[in-house]
A and B are shown apart, each in its own frame.
Chain A
Amino acid sequence: MKEKILEFENVKLIYHTVRGETVAAERLTFSVEEGEFVAIIGPSGCGKSTLLSLAAGLLTPSEGTVTRRGSVGYMLQRDELFPWRTIEKNILLPLEIKRRSTPQAREEALALAEKYGLGEFLRSYPAELSGGMRQRAALIRTLATGPDILLLDEPFSALDYQTRLSVTKDVSQIIRREGKTALLITHDISEAISLSDRVIVLTKRPATVAHTHALDFGETDPLKRRENRQFSGWFELLWKELNQ
């Protein structure tokens, strides 16, 4: 059996405000295995971003445990590139933060940028790049430190539809080619189906796992998956489960 990179066991999380407390998640158990692409979908307001913060170790569960083997790379809705840094400096930012900015590590990160077509933009500033290119730069930045698991927080939702389809394909290919483990959180059913190996459906607050489905498309290209006959079947099923 493959190693579990991320494991949630009976996680409970309580949110505190002056007006009272909210249980955001309860008895939440799931895991992500090495090399797997898992998507989590849930009704709006089920605390998806909270879940990623738990996975990244930015929040501590009130009960239960979150176990991570290795380091995480976080990718957000917007590219969040720093406008005052060049693309090169943005990509090298996590190395600087982790104080691992050795010549070799820098070279590896920049080679990755080169490999995925950012070579000519390294000296440009983010404002000079298209939305798709910026998101690609954000992915390379996430990959720069060689994280063991990627946490994707609706990374395509800020893009327009056209760009979104091509960037989704782009990012999926890069992640698959680099053999990365990924956990995607989204409210977009078709995105979850077109990208992942396994879909986890959450309930309304307090969030817990309602269903888990392994997707067997035998195909990882998100565009081809969208054309696949199974696609609409999965979509209907997940849509029903989300609205239960």
Chain B
Amino acid sequence: MKNKLYSGEHRLWLKRRRIRLTVVWTLRIGLLALLLFFWELSTRLGWADPFLVSSPSRILGTVGSLYRDGTLFYHIGTTLWETAVGFVLAIGLGYLIALLLWWSDLLHRVLEPYIVVLNALPKIALGPLIIIWCGTGSKAIVFMTVVVGIILVIMHMLSAFLETDENKLLLLRSMGASKLQILTKLVIPSSRVSFISMLKVAVGMSWIGSIMGEYIVSRAGLGYLIVYGGQVFKLDLVMTATCILCLLAAAMYFLVVLLEKILVKNTHN
């Protein structure tokens, strides 16, 4: 109905665009199907040892048996919970610390070298300490997730806060704005786009944190299944847990993208 208003050329352009999108999506899904097909085929025909590389059908079988055990959602839930709590804590605390550092230039200058060193430190080195401090439960894994994510959040948000337009700052100061007003009326709203891009990176970081945590200490979770599967040479279990991780990570990323759409629609940046 709407198309009647457009010129022939525009309708053609729209059609081409639609075709192009269809092609891209067909190829994307086709590539996945092809990979799965050859994976299955190569193990069936004996080109590859399914004991070493597993196979799609064996993965499905493992998912089924985990489901029947009643442990499938237990492991997924454990990892998801640890990741989500760590993600939220890392962002909340990191954002607060970034605000503090923006607020006090002295604090920022004093702490800068510490932040740089902590950023460069491989967090896995803290593993033994975390076990001793937090025990071997979920607390240790959440702690690991926070440690991995928080420095990134601090650095990303602080640089966004510090990049606030000088002229807009001048304008607010000329109106006699207090520091708190400058923060709430200008610095926070103008850093919204950076906040979203930080969230996208932080999603990945919190998965790294939680899985790394589960590698070091854990009795449940997808990271635990991977480590356990590796130790007892059950590669079906390793592959299954890895595939589920892929799906979960993708889902969490898309949630952030969805959030971005909602936020950006209301920001007009």
**B175 in complex: contacting residue of A76, A83, A93, A125, CB < 8 Å:** A93
Are the C-beta atoms of B171 and A80 separated by less than 8 Å?
yes
User: Given A93-B175, A94-B175, A97-B172, A83 and B167 touching (CB < 8 A)?
Assistant: no
Structural contact, B181 and A97, CB atoms closer than 8 A: yes
Report if B17 contacts A (CB, 8 A). Answer: no
B3-14 Cβ-contact flags toward A at 8 Å (1 or 0): 000000000000
Chain B contacts of A58 at CB under 8 A? 170, 173-174
Does A82 make an interface contact (CB < 8 A)? yes
Asked whether A72 is an interface residue with its Cβ less than 8 Å from the other chain, the reply is yes
List A136-163 residues whose CB lies under 8 Å from chain B.
Answer: 145, 151
Check if B269 sits within 8 Å of A76, measured CB to CB: no
Assess the A76–B176 pair: CB atoms within 8 A. no
Number of B residues, CB within 8 Å of A: 20
CB-CB contacts below 8 Å: B139-173 with A: 165, 167-168, 170-173
Contact yes or no, B170 A74, CB < 8 A? yes
- A84 adjacent to B268 (CB under 8 Å): yes
- Bound CA span A142–B172, Å: 11
CB distance from B148 to the nearest CB of A (A): 32
B-facing residues in A86-115 (Cβ within 8 Å): 93-94, 96-98
Q: Which of B172, B185, B268 contacts A83 (CB 8 A)?
A: B268
A127 proximal to B (CB < 8 A): yes
Q: Which residues of B contact A94 (CB under 8 A)?
A: 175
Kindly provide the distance from the CB of B46 to the nearest chain A CB, expressed in whole angstroms: 62
Taking a contact as CB atoms under 8 Å apart, the answer to whether A93 and B167 are in contact is no
- Count the A-B residue pairs with Cβ separation under 8 angstroms: how many? 51
Residues of A within 8 A of B168 (CB): 80, 82
| Cβ contacts under 8 Å, A80 to chain B | 165, 167-168, 171
Query: If the complex has contacts A80-B168, A80-B171, are A97 and B267 also in contact, measured as CB distance less than 8 A?
Result: no
In the complex, what distance in Å separates the CA atom of A125 from the CA atom of B165?
Answer: 18
B192 at the binding interface (Cβ < 8 Å): yes
- Closest Cβ of chain A to B224, distance in Å, is 44
Check: A78 CB closer than 8 A to any chain B CB. Answer: yes
Contact at A84–B192, with CB atoms within 8 Å? yes
Distance in Å: Cβ of A48 to nearest Cβ of chain B: 14
Q: How far is the CA of A127 from the CA of B264 in the complex (A)?
A: 14
Contact B186 A77 (CB under 8 A): no
Q: Which residues of B contact A98 (CB under 8 A)?
A: 175-176
B35 → A minimal CB distance (Å): 44
Tell me if A97 and B177 are in contact (CB < 8 A).
Answer: yes
**Which 4 pairs from chain A and chain B are nearest by CB?**
A74-B174, A125-B268, A97-B175, A97-B177
